[in-house]
Chains A and B, each alone.
Chain A
Amino acid sequence: MVNYGGDEVSALVLDIGTSTVRAGYAGDDTPKAIIPTSYGFKKDASAEEDVSMTEPGEEGDASPKPSPKVTMYVGNNGPTVWREGMEVAHPVRDGLIQDFGPIPALASYAFRDVMRCDPTEHPLLVTEPAWNTASNRERMAEIMFEDFGVPAFYIANTGVLNAFAAGKGSALVIDIGHDTASVTPVIDGFVLRKGLAHSALPQLVRAHAHHLLTSSNSSRPGIQLLPHQLIANKQAVDAGVPPRFTLRADRQAGTTESWRKWYEDREVEEWIQAVAGVLDQGWNEQAAAQRGARHYEFATGYNYYFGSERFSVGEQFFTHSPQLVASNPNLPKSIPALITQSLSACDPDIRQVLMGNVVLTGGGSLFAGLSERLSNELSRNFAHVKIHAPGNPTERRYGGWLGGSILASLGTFHQLWISKEEWQEHGSKIVAQRCK
């Protein structure tokens, strides 16, 4: 393991993504706690077999939660575990925290239950996307100072952190996450706001894969995406043969729609990560067929060798079929469209600097073949393109966290923290003054 830090290990770093919350000590090379951002909840708190985290709505002011009798299930044994009548909700939408209700519970679980540390003893650096709102970051500061009692706080932009972690003061950061793909131009360590572009492209890719898997085609029937928690037993079957399994009858009634949907999404995501890919030179049926089939087995026991169809999934990152565009006017922008939108808002002389310093990051960018294809697409349209994509998957997946980890570990950075005393004296407006 490479030791990235060294100066100071007392600060904490918290990075809240759409899919996972990452928390750890500054100076470390990987987050100590990686937990799902989604959480499970039950309105009726009668069957309490697990620890209930917090009662949202107690804080009074914001977060209008209907009933105070809500039990929340967060963390690694939270939404992933089947519970009768448990719904799953997602606090992060569009890269932004839309519902602050579960945030204290999630942060507390990460700090206290996984890391076993006391947040009142450590300065805390939180990351935010470039399009975060002023009220959102102030709310975050308020939660951390008031609820968690952190001694110092800083909120840093993931785009800038990713650029800096690549050694670049100026860069075009392409961040492909679980739900959101974004293009952020960074010039001399500051985000060029007018050049910001983002879309829900990864969701479209997943929807495409979901549709592909569940609908039948000439060589196979539609596939049932059932989570393993709902399957009582299954038998081994040959590839392409209908699965033989029995469902857990006792769990049929208590399974909520939101939980099933969330789990189906995970099944699709796993299939994508294992099997799907993108061709490096654009869509070509023959080239796709030549790449060979890949085997994948689902929770039902159904298994199949996926041929060229697995490459049509990745194509959604770059091109959308005319029919799809016609049928959906609000289609999320493709990566090339996002880049074009971003660059057209920048001065021409800046564009060249940006294209020479493209930083590719985010867990979604690990999609097989994506960086090669992106490089080919961009080289076709721009003269000097250089893409920096960390080869180490951890650096790519947790790039924002890692950048924050290094920054917060620097001895010299400590003069920039917002201290608790400053927060008490100046209130929320100090966040915008200090964290630029």
Chain B
Amino acid sequence: MASGVGVNQNVLDTYQELKLGKKHKYIVFGLSPDNTEIVVTKTSSDNSYETFLADLPEAECRWAIYDFEFERPGEGKRNKLLFVTWAPDDAKIKQKMLFASSKDALRRSLVGISTEIQGTDYSEVAYESVLDKASRGSH
């Protein structure tokens, strides 16, 4: 079941810039004001994970792509592309519905994501729990 919301071309271009060009550290996506399209709301090259978390609003839904870098003991550095679905409990129910039913459209258009995070509060997207998820799936 899907909402029928579309994906703006700019979303795909910005994703390619992050994935291939490494121009951004993370991208935050949202919905256009008329709720018909998924658009880029922010890009950043700030390396601090905390800055990224600050871009997830307390009572509004977002999606995000984060270029997650971590150390595997004895194996060196790894990079993973995280797909974060941010739907805080305090968000309006209509927005939660819209984001949940539109996620598939966005997710399918972005190729090469290794880990998906579904977050409803900050503990679920905290660095440690994300690191745990990202390092578990990598071999």
**Are A164 and B101 interface neighbours, CB within 8 A?**
yes
Residues of A within 8 A of B103 (CB): 169, 188-189
Interfacial chain A residues near B71, Cβ < 8 Å: none
B75-116 to A contact mask, C-beta < 8 Å, 1/0: 000000000010111011111111111011001000000000
User: Smallest distance from the beta carbon of B121 to chain A beta carbons, Å?
Assistant: 8
User: Pick the contact of B100 from A167, A411, A413, A416 — CB < 8 Å?
Assistant: A167
CB-CB nearest in chain A for B86: A167
Interface assignment of A101: CB less than 8 Å from any CB of chain B: no
CB of B2 closer than 8 Å to a CB of A: yes
Number of A-B contacts defined by CB within 8 Å: 101
> Of A2, A4, A416, which contacts B4 at CB under 8 A?
A416
Q: How far is the CA of A436 from the CA of B2 in the complex (A)?
A: 9
A30 CB to closest chain B CB (Å) equals 12
Residues of A within 8 A of B36 (CB): 411-412
Q: Which residues of chain A in 124-162 are interfacial with respect to chain B, using CB atoms and an 8 Å cutoff?
A: 156-157, 160-161
How far is the CB of A430 from the nearest CB of chain B, in Å? 16
A104 CB–B CB distance under 8 Å: no
**In the docked arrangement, what's the CA distance between A345 and B17, Å?**
40
Q: Are B97 and A165 in contact (CB under 8 A)?
A: yes
Q: Which residues of A contact B61 (CB under 8 A)?
A: 167
**Is A157 within 8 A of B1, CB to CB?**
yes
C-alpha spacing A170/B101, complex, angstroms? 11
B contact residues, total (Cβ < 8 Å) = 31
A407–B97 CB distance below 8 A: yes
* B124: Cβ under 8 A from any A Cβ: yes
Q: Flag B22-50 by CB within 8 Å of A: 1 or 0 each.
A: 00000000000011100000000000000
* Residues on the B chain within 8 Å of A260, using CB: none
| Residues in B neighbouring A208, C-beta threshold 8 A | none
Main SS class of interface, A: mixed
Neighbour of B120 across the interface among A163, A388, A407, CB < 8 A: A388
A356 within 8 A of B: yes
Bound CA span A310–B105, Å: 49
Nearest Cβ in chain B — how far from A365, in angstroms? 17
Which single residue of chain A is at the shortest CB-CB distance from B5?
A412
Interfacial chain A residues near B100, Cβ < 8 Å: 163-169, 189
Asked whether, in the complex, the Cβ of B104 is within 8 Å of the Cβ of A165, the reply is no
Determine the distance from Cα of A396 to Cα of B40 in the docked complex, in whole angstroms.
Answer: 33
**Contact indicator A410/B35 (Cβ below 8 Å):** yes
Q: Are A189 and B97 in contact (CB under 8 A)?
A: no
- Please, which residues of chain B bring their CB within 8 A of the CB of A4? 92-94
Q: Is B3 an interface residue (CB 8 A)?
A: yes
* Set of chain B residues within 8 Å of A238, measured between Cβ atoms: none
A406 to B98, CA, bound (A): 8
Any B CB within 8 A of the CB of A357: yes
B118 interface hit (Cβ, 8 Å): yes
The answer, yes or no, to whether A5 is at the interface (CB within 8 Å) is yes
Give Cα A2 to B88, complex, Å: 17
Q: Which of A7, A167, A169 has the most CB of B within 10 A?
A: A167
- Tell me which residues across on chain B come within 8 A of A435, comparing CB atoms: 1
A403 interface residue per 8 A CB criterion:
yes
Residue A355 interfacial (CB < 8 Å): no
User: Are A413 and B120 closer than 8 Å at their CB atoms?
Assistant: no
Across-interface contacts of B57 in A (CB, < 8 A): none
B2 touches A357 (CB 8 A): no
Indicate if A321 sits at the interface (CB-CB under 8 A): no
- Bound-state CA distance A157–B101 (Å) is 13
Q: Which residues of A sit under 8 angstroms from B95, Cβ to Cβ?
A: 167
Q: Check: A402 CB closer than 8 A to any chain B CB.
A: yes
A96 at the binding interface (Cβ < 8 Å): no
Q: Does A395 contact B (CB under 8 A)?
A: yes
Interface string of A376-402 (1 = CB under 8 A from B): 000000000010100000010000001
Expressed in whole angstroms, the Cα–Cα distance for A166 and B104 within the complex equals 16
Across the interface, which residues of A come within 8 angstroms of B88, CB to CB?
167
A32 at the interface (CB under 8 A from B): no
Closest residue of chain A to B103 (Cβ to Cβ) is: A169
Which of chain B's residues has its CB closest to A436's CB? Answer: B1
> Which of A2, A190, A388 has a CB less than 8 Å from the CB of B89?
A388
Q: Which residues of A contact B94 (CB under 8 A)?
A: 4-6, 406, 409
Q: Whole-angstrom distance between the alpha carbons of A136 and B87 in the complex? A: 34
User: B97 contacts A164, CB within 8 Å?
Assistant: yes
Q: For B2, list chain A residues within 8 Å (CB).
A: 189, 416
Query: Does A433 interact with chain B (Cβ within 8 Å)?
Result: no
When A and B form their complex, which 3 residue pairs have the shortest distance between CB atoms, in order from nearest?
A167-B96, A167-B87, A412-B4
13 contacts between A and B (CB under 8 A): A157-B1, A166-B100, A167-B61, A167-B91, A168-B87, A168-B96, A169-B85, A356-B118, A406-B97, A411-B35, A412-B3, A412-B6, A413-B4
Taking Cβ atoms with an 8 Å cutoff, the residues of B that contact A are: 1-6, 34-36, 61, 85, 87-89, 91-101, 103-104, 107, 118, 120, 124
